[in-house]
Structure 1
Amino acid sequence: MEHDVVVVGGGPCGATAAEDLARAGLSVVLLDKAGRIKPCGGAVPPRLIRDFDIPDEQLVAKIDTARMISPTGRQVDIPIENGYVGMVDREHFDEFLRDRAARAGATRLTGTFLSIDRPDGRPVVRYRDKATGEERALRTRLVIGADGARSAVARAEVPGGREIPYVIAYHEIIAAPGRTATYDPHRCDVVYDGRISPDFYGWVFPHGAHCSVGMGTGVDGVDLKAATAALREAAGLADAPTIRKEGAPIPLRPLDRWDNGRDVVLAGDAAGVVAPSSGEGIFYAMAGGRAAAEACECVLLSDNPRDLRMARKTFMKQHKAVFRILGAMQDAYYKSDERRERFVTLCHDIDVQRLTFEAYMNKELVHARPLAHIKIGIKNVAHLMGLVPARPAL
């Protein structure tokens, strides 16, 4: 039997691609290793909930405030106006998406991807079945590589797939208390402190009965577990029972090419689509999975492999500007504690708060406030040139 598409990887990206293709009436296989939970803060914006029809029961918490914490311990609370940030538990959320893809008509298989062969020109995906240990094969017309930041599909098939830069993320899922003096189950804490991460940030994200506490860094030699222990101590969560510990690479920038010009296209972390500065990945993974599915549908209709390029073009047309600005912000403010201090100071500005969360919630730049953009630009320049104090006057 020859399938139309084999999707390698069953996270939010691969499950979304498989569901979309199955709903289009195509023969789709979703191949996933299973048994692995990606370390993730679990934040999902309202646009994801709308675009991908996520039921309310998948949200383990609804966040109404974000707290930015500077290297000197200053705190800026930013209310999330006109909405909320949903939180999901990846253990259950990913399985919900995989099950939904299967109910749409995708065939679920559990196993480890090995290679792609082309004995007669058509791709054959070889994998090791988890239950039996046997090597098996899937004939297909196209392959979507949605198998993470160290994608085996990308390394084997797509130019540049071996060189993608990444940071390492580590977190601990713990049993969360109720509201305390240092922990709020409706507030996300983001810690910009070089002692926690010299080039990224730490987080305390509520997950209902649980909480994700973690950090990320691309610097060798950083003790991830010690940094996370310090975060837990500061949040009053040091004695909370630990449920599980997880670590994984998070890509830093989109690859320049997402397809092999023939029969393979990448999506999600495999294509490098995690937002700079924030590290947000779930929305962009699912958007990338949808773009890859649309590109595959076009190729199956046109029989022109050049249409695989549509996946990257479609995604970047929608999100390139946001990625560029977030990348510039990370380059500007994550270099030192002095810069991080200035960034938290900038977050005091009401226009910064509103524009930031409007952009986050809707995943597009807000153009309706030109004067606010100008003011923010001037303040950015003033901070980066050291023309204003790093800390506001008391």
Structure 2
Amino acid sequence: MSTTPDTAKAYDVVVIGGGPAGATAAHDLASQGRSVLLLDRAGRIKPCGGAIPPRAIKDFQIPDHLLVAKARSARMISPADRKVDIPIENGYVGMVDREHFDEWLRQRAASSGAVRATGTFEKIEHSDDGLAVVHFRARNDDGPASGHAATVRARCVIGADGARSAVAQQCVPGSHDTEYVFAYHEIVRAPAEKPAGYDDTRCDVYYRGELSPDFYGWVFPHGETLSIGTGSADKGFSLRTATATLRQAAGMAHFETVRREGAPLPMKPLKRWDDGRNVVLAGDAAGVVAPSSGEGIYYAMYGGRLAADAAQEFLRTGQAAALAGARKRFMKAHGRVFWVLGIMQRFWYRNDKRRESFVKICMDKDVQQLTFESYMNKELVRKKPMAHVRIFFKDMAHLLGLARV
């Protein structure tokens, strides 16, 4: 539900973009008594596997009813059709439908006091008193799609308007230098009679060059539906054709298609997230989608929380330098993980021979345990040093061609 923003007042913060990052930032700031306007476009659903690790469920109080499925294992499938099943011990990964999940987050922000408005961001200007003037094309729930010109003023702006963020491109230097993977998926309806081998508690990940030359294909359970898709940075690669091939390989070509969605995913955090004045970025706009895995929901919500903290400090002190704290804190917590995942993607996803070796490595119990502990808790596992040593030598054996695939 949208409400009409008060154009006569100056909001403490205008949040542009109502996905997980923007909705989280708006919720946090409104909960702390700040006046917040949450501006979001209507009708867009981001293509996403919808995975919510336990850390996200805990940190952001995600209720169980939003989880349309609970994945308790992952299956990795190699170019030669080698299948490696990895159980998720002592827990599960929640799966959400972004159409309903994102709206719930926006409603939570509104229930905390944020004002919601539907419209399309156009530009930011600055008034003589230093406030940001946000121009957008407003649209009421019952209004025409084109809407009408509107402006609001704010002491601070959080740009959470997704990949290729218009806020970032207008306000933050270096924002054009972003690397993207283009993701595409099809939401299909699970049939009443399940095919042989079907498991609605398992996420299947396909590492095959025919499905992606530099990423992977996936089949993720969503309760009554599934997300089937792939991604690639190669603009000449047909994601639709690859997804059709994946559906055929998974025995799901005949499943009813509910909808199709595609969008770019940034694969590297921007070097700067603020304009040094009163604008800070969060979520995909800041480039916080994990390389190799493409995971973004947890990192978006965490980035939104950090942007809210930075905005709060800026509003309290008036010091624009406080806005840089969002990126500093994020990179301190997750920069090393992103660096490792980036190297892994560039090396292991290069060709099918390396993909085959990669899946082979994932058969190792040490790799499985440490990988999933890190994924579930969003921290590099530093305990069990001998396990790390064993993994190092096993990786070297594969790199040097000494291990049999």
TM-score, normalization: structure 2? 0.95
SS in 1 for 2:314: helix
Partner of 1:26: 34
Q: Given that residues 9 and 32 in structure 1 are in contact (C-alpha distance below 8 angstroms), is that contact kept between their aligned partners in structure 2?
A: yes
- State the 1:173 CA deviation: 0.3
Tell whether the 8 Å contact from 1:64 to 1:186 is kept in structure 2 after alignment. Answer: yes
Specify the alignment match of 1:125 in structure 2: 134
The 8 Å contact of residues 16 and 97 in structure 1, kept in 2 or not, is answered as yes
Tell me by how many angstroms 1:326 deviates: 1.2
2:317 corresponds to: 302
Aligned pairs for 1:198-277 within 5 A:
198-277=213-292
SS at 2:311 equivalent = helix
What corresponds to 1:361 in structure 2? Answer: 376
| CA shift for structure 1 position 119 | 2.8
Alpha carbons 1:179, 1:185 under 8 Å: kept: no
CA distance in structure 1 between the partners assigned to 2:98 and 2:20 by the alignment: 9
Residue of 284, 289, 301 corresponding to 2:299: 284
- Tell me which amino acid in the other structure corresponds to 1:282: I
Contact 1:183–1:236 (8 Å) recurs in 2: no
Q: Supply the distance in 1 between the matched residues of 2:107 and 2:235 (Cα, whole angstroms).
A: 38
* TM-aligned CA deviation for residue 212 of structure 1: 0.2
Q: Matches of residues 1-394 of structure 1 in structure 2 within 5 Å?
A: 1-120=9-128, 121-131=130-140, 132=143, 133-177=147-191, 179-389=194-404, 391=405
Q: CA deviation at 1:68?
A: 0.2
Hey, what's the Cα distance between the residues in 2 that align with 1:77 and 1:388?
Answer: 20
Distance 1:75 1:284 in 2: 29
| Contact kept in structure 2, 1:118 and 1:124, CA below 8 Å | yes
Task: Compute the displacement of 1:208 (Å).
Answer: 0.1
**Could you tell me which residue of structure 1 aligns to residue 6 of structure 2?**
none
Q: Tell me by how many angstroms 1:244 deviates.
A: 0.3
Distance 2:125 2:259 in 1: 37
CA–CA distance in structure 2, aligned partners of residues 135 and 300 of structure 1: 28
C-alpha displacement of 1:381:
1.6
Alignment check: 8 A CA contact 1:259 1:266 kept: yes
Separation in structure 2 between the aligned mates of residue 318 and residue 228 of structure 1, nearest angstrom:
34
Deviations 1:77-107 (A, max 9, x none): 0000010010000000000000000000000
For the aligned residue pairs, the C-alpha RMSD in angstroms reads 0.9
Q: Deviations over 1:41-99 (max 9, x none)?
A: 00010000000000000000001110000011110000000100100000000000000
Question: What is the rounded CA distance, in whole Å, between the counterparts of 2:110 and 2:159 in structure 1?
Answer: 18
Structure 1 unpaired stretches of 5+? none
Q: State the shift of 1:310 in Å.
A: 0.4
What displacement does 1:230 show?
Answer: 1.0
**Which whole-Å CA distance do the structure 1 matches of 2:207 and 2:379 have between them?**
24
Structure 2: distance between partners of 1:248 and 1:9: 15
Distance in 1, Cα, partners of 2:196 & 2:29? 48
Amino acid at match of 1:55: P
Structure 2 spans left out of the alignment, 5+ residues = 1-8
Give the 4+ runs in structure 1 shifted more than 6 A.
none
Note the C-alpha offset of 1:179: 4.1
